[in-house]
Amino acid sequence: MIDVCVFFALPIKSHESYFVYLVLIYNIVFSMYLNLLMVIRNVIIINYYFVDVNWGSSTQAQMYKTALSSAHALARTGEHVKNYWPQLLVLAGRPQARPALVDLGNLISKAGSLMIVGDISQEKLSYKVRSARARTDDEWLRGRKVRAFCSRVHGFSFEPGARALVQASGVGRLAPNVLLMGYKSDWTTCPANDLVSYFNVLHTAFENRLAVAIVRVSGGLDYSAVVSEGAEEGTAGSLTATSSSGELRVRRDGLIMHADSDLDIRDTQPKHNLSNLLTLTTSRSFTISECKEKDKKKKERKPNDMHRQIVYNTASGLELSKFQLAQMSLFQKKQESGTLDVWWLYDDGGLTILLPYIISQRSAWANCKLRIFALANRLHEMELEERNMANLLAKFRIDYSSLTMVQDITDPPQPETKALFDETIKKFTEESASPDCRISDMELQTLAVKTNRQLRLRELLLANSKDARLVVMSLPMPRKGSISAPLYMAWLEMMSRDLPPMLFVRGNHTSVLTFYS
């Protein structure tokens, strides 16, 4: 630039001056050419010889300082209901092991809230394994477009590990206030210690002023059996299509799905260790074969049943039905027209109505209308009760399609429902049951009214919400020392069995809607 300025500043007095001008022009062009060559050489050297070199970035340093300053400033601000966000701690283990649970948490938090996926491992992990898990889990979350952090504890059983996550997760105000976990579908067959630990985690959450949400879906949430052991070494732990030859066939033996409302995939896996990553063998060229019917007089299965029996072979020999694959992406796929039913039974600060409203605002659930069911306290003033509830929802600015006041909740349950409940708890009422998991006659008598209430709710759910896309319901409070683990789980079992996906929600009585403030 200095040469250029000198060049234009020189006066032209003689022919000798033109020679000077030409020399200056030559020097300027030649120096620019050399500089360009140097830049190109440096770019080539960096790109081809030092690709793994991290030179650092002032932008990253500034980003860190900004995030740290914002976290400190946020910690010094007071809480207000207008600034409430449901910040989730999702007890999903490896995120790819329970994709539906992670997707549901993402539905709630994707607008800009905090989500932490908690992974509890009973075995002590080496630094190499922990690093590989962190890398694999983060890649899976990014690939599924889930904005979440993973928090891991190892060397703990489920209950102390969950307690550690509840007490220590987060930083300052960026800490979970809602515990999201899956329904324990094997509670009737698991060891007594496992059932008690699951029940105690609920108490731990409430003691630490966290709200609790429990989700149950048909088929279960746990797909850890199809997560490859090799994923710990850094391979991607997701479902990927492959071009290897495979077979898509129809089965009629009922192995993949049966009449029960919950099925854990571990019941369908072969009796060998999984050493390979799950890959779906759904190539373009595949064969379809049907098992011959032993009895030609048997009635043909319904199309829905056939849909559930179609299975996909995996590279490791595991079989997954089309229904199970759909369940793994239940909360990620676009929902068809339907309803999102909310059974708002208790006043817990408004979280039971807030979470389904947030879900209904997502594009994938835009076709689902919000229906609200509430209890009527004064049966002789039904119109007044309904009008007051409508005014309350209007103040919450909650858009809904219908409002139903439930008035016959105190009616006795049907004998069939009572018989089903007795069969469910039969194992836990016997004298041979574990002392920690035994339902005494005194407990049944003391809680008879509440038990009948839950059984009656089951009948109302079957009558009104059997075809809903999702049912959100107030979670009964597990009073510590007042109810045993098996009886409480029997309540949840009766209210969610053979029903659409169910989300039980119980707030911590913190106001989450503006009207409460």
The contacts found for 127-133 with CB under 8 angstroms, 24 or more apart, are 129/232, 130/154, 132/232, 132/233, 132/234, 133/94, 133/231, 133/232
| 296-321 tens-digit pLDDT | 444 444 444 444 444 555 545 666 67
Which of these ranges, 277-281, 308-312, 347-351, 479-483, has the smallest mean pLDDT? 277-281
Residue pLDDT, tens place only, 177-203: 999 999 999 999 999 999 999 999 999
Higher pLDDT, 310 or 323: 323
Residues 130 and 174 in one domain: yes
Residue 153, helix vs strand vs coil: strand
Q: Does residue 332 have a pLDDT over 90?
A: no
Tell me the whole-structure pTM to 2 decimals: 0.74
pLDDT for res 277: 35
Neighbouring C-beta atoms of residue 48, cutoff 10 Å:
8
In a domain, 136, yes or no: yes
Look at the block and give the residue holding tokens 């909360």: 331
The pLDDT value recorded for residue 56 is 67
248-250 and 149-154: which strand pairing?
A: unpaired
For residues 101 and 143, membership in a common domain is answered with yes
Question: According to the model, what pLDDT value does residue 312 have?
Answer: 55
The answer on 97 and 205 residing in a single domain is yes
Give the total number of structural domains in the chain: 4
Which tens digit of pLDDT belongs to each residue from 96-145? 889 999 999 999 998 788 999 999 999 898 999 999 999 999 999 999 99
Long-range contacts of 106-109 (CB under 8 A, 24+ apart): 106/144, 106/145, 106/146, 106/147, 106/148, 106/331, 107/331, 107/358, 107/359, 107/362, 107/364, 107/365, 108/180, 108/355, 108/358, 108/359, 109/85, 109/147, 109/148
Q: Which domain holds residue 134?
A: 84-226
Model confidence at 361: pLDDT above 70: yes
Examine residue 66 and state whether it is found in any structural domain, yes or no. no
Binning pLDDT at 50, 70 and 90, where does residue 274 land?
Answer: very low
- Per-residue model confidence as pLDDT tens digits over 366-421: 889 999 998 877 666 677 777 878 888 887 788 888 888 888 888 899 999 999 99
CATH number for the domain spanning 204: value is: 3.40.50.620
Mean pLDDT, residues 436-440:
88
CA 382 from chain centre, in angstroms, equals 38
Q: Is residue 380 domain-shared with residue 508, that is, in the same domain?
A: yes
Same domain, 409 and 349: yes
Residue 97 CA to residue 414 CA, distance in Å, equals 39
Tokens 């979970």: give the residue. Answer: 176
- The answer to whether residue 75 sits within a structural domain is no
How are beta strands 338-344 and 178-182 bridged, if at all? Answer: unpaired
Both structure tokens of 407: 């008035």
Whether 9 and 109 map to the same domain: the answer is no
Same domain membership, residue 186 and residue 248: no
Number of other CB atoms surrounding residue 470 within 10 Å: 26
- Give CA–CA dist 453/463, Å, rounded: 15
